[in-house]
Amino acid sequence: MNAGFHVGGDAYDDFMGRYSTLLARLFADFAGVEAGSRVLDVGAGTGALTAELVSRGASVAVADPSPEFVGVLRERFPDLEVHEAPAEALPFETGEFDAALAQLVVAFVTDGPAAVAEMARIARRVAACMWGVEEVDMFAAIDRTAETIGASRATEPRRYRTPQELHDLFAPHGEVEAAELDVSAGYRDFDEFWQAMGRGVGPAGQWVASLDDETRERAREELFDQLGSPSGPFELNARAFAVAVTPRP
Ligand SMILES: C[S@@+](CC[C@H](N)C(=O)[O-])C[C@H]1O[C@@H](n2cnc3c(N)ncnc32)[C@H](O)[C@@H]1O
């Protein structure tokens, strides 16, 4: 499932990158990435986690099935090994990596259990994180807006977004460690927020792009109200749930 991710790297960064860059630090800490470890960033997108792993001195390879994102990754990280590949079929030898990390990916893959099994095949430690469903201010405000103005939207994927579902996805591979990772992202003003929304990224961005002009304007006004009518800079919170296992040999 790739809806809304065939977009430019800047558009993605503008919409989601301001959150995922902060999340990457917490997630890499949680997964225990150290200098010198050989790490695969699975579903690397525009490289928010990749940059964090590189800055820690890890030896990093990346994979993503989106040709657009692979292009961005090759440009941003010319020295890294970049593969166009889905999590379900990783082009690596068994046990080749110390760790395989998937940040904000498992809800989007076609086959979650197959993806985690494949990560567990190639790595000695496997970790994933996903935003919660209710715990992301931005998505909650967009959902309330869509409901209030009666313009239904394709929701964010709902799979593997709760601690229980993530636990169950990983449990076949070992004892599951879990954590809550909290970040908050800042916006200069509402216009900056709305512009990022209008760039067609992910299900929310696609929803905005699908609206006719009049409905889009109603959505903009309602969203402004839903965010508390900010007159200047404001922050939105987001919580991700993370799980990790050290797969049984
Ligand atoms: C929300 S983005 C997260 C990107 C990046 N990991 C980050 O934290 O910013 C979801 C990513 O999952 C990728 N993706 C979709 N289906 C996938 C699959 N089957 N295997 C691996 N990645 C997939 C998309 O191409 C996209 O890059």
What pLDDT does residue 189 have? 95
Give the pLDDT mean for 1-25: 75
Give the pLDDT mean for 70-79: 96
For the whole model, what pTM was predicted? 0.90
Please name the amino acid found at residue 106.
V
Mutate to test the pocket of ligand 1, among 5, 30, 52, 101 (most ligand atoms within 8 A of CB): 5
Q: Are 206 and 198 in contact (CB under 8 A)?
A: no
pLDDT per residue over 81-136, tens digit each? 999 999 999 999 999 999 999 999 999 999 999 999 999 999 999 999 999 988 99
Torsion of CA 166, 168, 173, 177, to 10 degrees: 50
* Residues contacting residue 229 through CB under 8 Å, at least 6 positions apart: none
For 24, the token pair is: 């990457």
Q: Which residues of 14-27 are buried (b: 16+ CB within 10 A; e: fewer)?
A: bbbbbbbbbbbbbb
pLDDT per residue over 51-66, tens digit each? 999 999 999 999 999 9
Average pLDDT score over the chain: 93
- Does residue 1 register a pLDDT over 60? no
Q: Check pocket membership of 44 for ligand 1, CB cut-off 6 A.
A: yes
Q: Check pocket membership of 64 for ligand 1, CB cut-off 6 A.
A: yes
Higher pLDDT, 201 or 55: 55
Element housing 101 (H / E):
strand 99-103
Q: Check pocket membership of 105 for ligand 1, CB cut-off 6 A.
A: yes
* Residues contacting residue 80 through CB under 8 Å, at least 6 positions apart: 50, 54, 60, 61, 62, 73
Q: Check pocket membership of 48 for ligand 1, CB cut-off 6 A.
A: yes
What pLDDT does residue 11 have? 76
What pLDDT does residue 5 have? 60
Residue ID of nearest Cα to ligand 1 atom 17:
109
Give the pLDDT mean for 167-172: 98
Residue ID of nearest Cα to ligand 1 atom 22:
43
Q: Check pocket membership of 4 for ligand 1, CB cut-off 6 A.
A: no
- Calculate ∠ Cα 100-28-51, nearest 5°: 90
Q: Are 20 and 48 in contact (CB under 8 A)?
A: yes
